Structure 1
Amino acid sequence: MTQQASVTTQEIAPEQLCIGLYVHLDLPWSAHPFTFSSFKIKDLGQIATLQSLGLERIRYSASKSDCAPLALPPRTAEPAAPPAMALADDPALKLKRERLERMAAHHAKVAQCERELLSSGRAVKSITQNLFAKPKEAYAEASGLISGLAASMLVDADVAIQLMADKVGGEDVYHHSLNVAILSMVLARELKAPPAAMQVLGLGALLHDIGKADLPERVVRKSTPLTAAEAVVYQMHCEKGVAIAQAMGVGPEVRAIIEQHHECSDGSGYPKRLSGTQLGLLVRVVALVNAYDNLVNPLDPRRALTPHEAMSVIYGQRRAQFDNLVLTTFVRSVGIYPPGTVVNLSNGTLGMVLSVNSSRPLKPTVLVYDPAIPKDGAIVVNLEEEPEVSVATTVKPADLPADVFDYLSPRRRTTYFFNTEGGT
């Protein structure tokens, strides 16, 4: 299933509810205690809660139900009043209100992350523009940016990976560098890298493509396959990057990352076809993350893979090119369903993965599509807290109906950013 088709529903009285019916609640999300407004009844407690909502009629979907509703009993008197317990006292509804508060905090963090991402993107652009005119200043600015990111990662117990909107208008080059830096640091954190190594890694990842600034634009920005001659020119960005880094005053460990980020563990990379232990651990981290982000964010957006597809390609088809420890740790830290993956949940709901759960990779946090809830207040569900719901399939954003695409806003380009004020 790649999209939510319209579902035919019928109305029944609350007395006809039974386990196995798939019901739809025509109430504001905050007015009932359930996580989803449409769901299959699984126990008598849910029936009691549904009957206490005061609804005269409840919609259900026969095609999604396991059984037919109960027959309506003959009425000999006025129906009994709903249970005396007010909904305001329902523990489940209190939990939902707490969840609403967490969702509001989450949306505030997203806004903060977007501001920080924009600021960091401007910093990367400034660094790139100053590579030749002010190399020392560019290096100082890069060091400051990475120090701020590294410090936040080292003090936070659980840094959430946030999906942000990339900026259009040629900014993708700068955000690719930022993506690679951030995801490399996330991966290094899982590998228990010490603070000094985190700083070296972040700088190397941020500056890994600086050699492209000394290449013809027609080669760097070409979205179609390079000719053999163009490929030779393109591969020179590694050695040109080292020369620029030397002028900036960059140390040898960072220069190694810049020079070797296209090398592969199986010796199939460039410029020197190094392999295995000839590559340092930090180089192996950046090589993997760079390859992943290039699949998700190619110059030609039409060739872009979803995060889940990119992970599948790397793990299933290109595994030999990357260090096994680094690759398995990357899968664990970024997730089987990386942020930005559009998913179809087992209850038929569509959503988009916002952040991963490294201890339970099959249970990410998902932004849920619900047309009854305004987009700016969209439900955020941690699947670890919903044992009955799981990811059923992944969905290509292009296959989404227009209204769902607009609601979830899966980005044309994917950028990961973590909130420096703490995890979610």
Structure 2
Amino acid sequence: MRTRPLKVALLGCGVVGSEVARIMTTHADDLAARIGAPVELAGVAVRRPSKVREGIDPALITTDATALVERGDIDVVVEVIGGVEPARGLITTAFEHGASVVSANKALLAEDGPALHAAAEKHGRDLYYEAAVAGAIPLVRPLRESLAGDKVNRVLGIVNGTTNFILDRMDTSGAGYSEALDEATALGYAEADPTADVEGFDAAAKAAILAGIAFHTRVGIGEVHREGITEVTAADIASARRMGCTVKLLAICERAADGRSVTARVHPAMIPLSHPLASVREAYNAVFVEAEAAGQLMFYGPGAGGSPTASAVLGDLVAVCRNKLAGTTGPGESAYTRLPVSPTGEVVTRYHISLDVADKPGVLAQVATVFAEQGVSIDTVRQQSRQDPDGEASLVVVTHRALDSALSGTVEALRKLDTVRGVASIMRVEGE
């Protein structure tokens, strides 16, 4: 074992960063044995230097992150500050000054991954980011390396713990969305501003990263269709249960049947209780991968939190340090297929549509005619009279598989019927 330590600069010392620092200290001997050289925390960049950080030498704390990454003796920079800037500038500066980078920054990678990979390649450095998707679950490296000789056709997953907790509570306890969100906030699963989670932005960033790796093409976050869970109601949950389904916020990345394009989308969907993802409860994550030779694979575990995310960061740190000692780098960006990203309208899926309709004869026939005119076949219909003074009834239609664009067109045509008082909810049915 070489005696000169590999020096690590840590950008950010919040929940994840402090746990990374703790593990580096308490497991220093084990890490050194696994890497082949000791690793040393050489500096920690923070915004609030006055905050007490247990177990970290105050002499390592700095507010000048740029100066830290510009040091010529830094071997690896660990970036856990999040956001696009200043993280992007700090990472590129680190490459320029001889350091490889381990990042947990999904937002930056989804927005600017190709440029970061290009900078890493230009300077002969590593860019690893296992922690950017699904916390502690080993997923990025299996897709980049273990399945590098296979052809991945589909990635279907629950990649946001906050929304999974909320939907799980709505399903198991009968709580409404607001009540379940309040509980998630009280337990620390949801941020004070939960927008990134509940509106699907977090999951969309992860979907962009997964699609890019799985299909060897570039997928930007702007190319990911995104819908959140704020419109999911207790009635939707109950309707799913009657179908033998549950509701999950899914990230779905698919290769087209002809292999000439890909799609990436995030939205709530009903999935059968028989599907492995249906049993993923609380704030856990799980990703279902379908590959040509390997078949169906499922990756499951805690998708967030200080310790799980730090575990993924440390795994990358060990790999990058080993590469440094060997004088090599790991796999970079693989985007050779250059497949276009098709709009969601070209996806083939099923719809569950709940309508408020006039409670009178002939309504069902009118609705069925609209479906027929749009070329969409109906699987099941359930109608229930409410016996209210407005003379309304509830009509639930589940379709067979059709183009998403045709299904959307059907919904728009239904809205124009005089007998349809309103479209109460629309939800895709997946995972069959």
TM-score range, shorter chain: under 0.3
More helix per residue: 1 or 2?
A: 1
More strand per residue: 1 or 2?
A: 2
TM-score (norm 2): 0.24
Larger Rg: 1
